[in-house]
């Protein structure tokens, strides 16, 4: 019987979440439309940790969800070198396009055949190791990204292939998020490395823009306190400071992303106050900040688990937090990233501000525990909901 309230929760979250911009040119129905609250439709988004059914994607379309942040798990799609399985991703891309929902993929995980040395880690943990240990691993990562963009990008074969069962309106993927929470050992092994992640971003930028020169590269979302017991001042701002030390890195991405899981709204505001000076110090304050995960659990509150809020508490915090983000967007003076810029130079001149965020959705039949449980259900060993 939990499936009914979970479906309702999905729609409520969809109407509150924040999303990214839309493309110019031919669009699927609804893409680029305005939405309630005086923001582009793509301001509202969802990140799902379980496979979405066509019916759920239809519900999201009816609710004016504009952005779907979607896990693209490399080991799942290319389980063996140069052998691809698109059967899990094709239906989602097609159904999202049918509903005018733009996709923001976050590409994550390294298959065992590409890792080389798992350093004694179990298979699910081994995939957290980025493909940087050898030239072969780096080339394999770039080849995978090249094939992804060649399939789903503006000139992608998916949109013109008559041999499959899909015939969606063309809504190509033009924004790509690289990895997930690289400042946390939950997603980056053997240990987080801003320098290593910077190399991964550079490799990704070169591979993606070789196929689509106008593609936008989004940094992986940074968690507010990525390691247990870590002080807030040692979180995203310090990781970014060290990332900016990688020579030329600012030319290889278009947006910064945050995952401001917090017990209250003041902690979200504090995170912005910490990150923005770091961007200014690096001379990179003109780039937008995207919020690509945000949420609280609808499970009943328990002692020492501050992210468990219950259904009503979750709804209130989502409402209040997205209103906070919308107001920050207005204060920044940005009108939102509602169209692709014709060049990287034009994009870099855009106004700063809060551009995207997504509400999380948990597996069907379970209480929402933000995105932690959902991502674990997709094959990523994420650990417990941070509380």
Residue 25: count of CB within 10 angstroms of its CB? 10
pLDDT, tens digit, 9 for 90 and up, residues 33-84: 656 667 888 888 899 878 899 999 999 999 999 999 999 999 999 999 999 9
Q: Identify the pLDDT of residue 34.
A: 59
Distance CA 311, CA 129 (A): 36
Buried b (16+ CB within 10 A) or exposed e, 367-382: bbbbbbbbbbbbbbbb
Q: Residue ranges per domain, the chain?
A: 3-377
Domain topology for 3-377: TIM Barrel (3.20.20)
Q: Identify the pLDDT of residue 2.
A: 25
Q: Strand runs (DSSP E) across the chain, as ranges?
A: 34-35, 39-40, 45-48, 67-73, 102-108, 175-178, 216-219, 222-223, 256-259, 289-291, 354-356, 359-361
Q: Identify the pLDDT of residue 322.
A: 84
Q: What is the pTM of this model?
A: 0.81
All residue ranges of the chain with pLDDT < 70 are 1-37, 226-234, 332-387
Q: Identify the pLDDT of residue 42.
A: 84
Q: Identify the pLDDT of residue 216.
A: 98
Q: Identify the pLDDT of residue 172.
A: 98
């Amino acid at each position: 019987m939990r499936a009914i309230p979970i479906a309702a929760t999905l729609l409520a979250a969809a109407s509150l979440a924040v999303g990214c911009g839309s493309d110019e040119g031919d669009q699927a129905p609804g893409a680029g439309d305005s939405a309630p609250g005086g923001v582009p439709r793509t301001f509202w988004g969802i990140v799902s940790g379980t496979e979405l059914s066509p019916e759920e994607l239809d519900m999201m379309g009816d609710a004016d969800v504009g952005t779907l942040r979607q896990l693209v798990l490399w080991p799942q799609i290319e389980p063996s070198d140069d052998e691809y399985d698109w059967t899990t991703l094709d239906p989602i891309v097609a159904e999202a396009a049918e509903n005018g929902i733009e996709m923001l993929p976050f590409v994550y995980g390294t298959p065992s055949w590409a890792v080389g040395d798992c350093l004694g880690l179990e298979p699910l943990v081994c995939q957290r190791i980025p493909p940087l240990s050898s030239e072969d691993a780096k080339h394999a990562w770039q080849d995978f990204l090249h094939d992804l963009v060649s399939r789903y990008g503006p000139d992608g074969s998916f949109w013109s292939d008559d041999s499959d069962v899909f015939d969606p309106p063309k809504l190509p993927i033009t924004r790509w998020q690289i990895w997930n929470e690289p400042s946390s050992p939950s997603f980056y092994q053997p240990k987080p490395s801003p320098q290593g992640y910077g190399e991964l971003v550079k490799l990704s930028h070169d591979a993606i823009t070789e196929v689509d020169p106008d593609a936008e590269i989004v940094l992986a979302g940074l968690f507010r306190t990525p390691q247990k017991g870590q002080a807030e001042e040692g979180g995203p701002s310090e990781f970014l400071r060290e990332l900016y030390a990688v020579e030329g890195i600012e030319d290889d991405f278009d947006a910064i992303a945050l995952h401001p899981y917090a017990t209250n709204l003041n902690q979200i505001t504090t995170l912005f106050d910490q990150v923005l000076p770091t961007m200014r110090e690096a001379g990179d304050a003109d780039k937008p900040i995207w919020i690509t995960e945000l949420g609280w659990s609808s499970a009943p509150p328990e002692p020492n688990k501050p992210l468990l809020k219950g259904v009503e508490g979750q709804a209130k915090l989502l409402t209040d937090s997205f209103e906070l983000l919308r107001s920050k967007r207005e204060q920044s003076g940005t009108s939102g990233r509602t169209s692709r810029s014709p060049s990287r130079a034009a994009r870099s001149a855009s106004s700063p501000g809060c551009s995207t965020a997504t509400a999380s959705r948990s597996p069907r039949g379970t209480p929402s525990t933000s995105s932690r449980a959902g991502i674990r259900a997709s094959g990523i060993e994420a650990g417990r909901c941070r509380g």
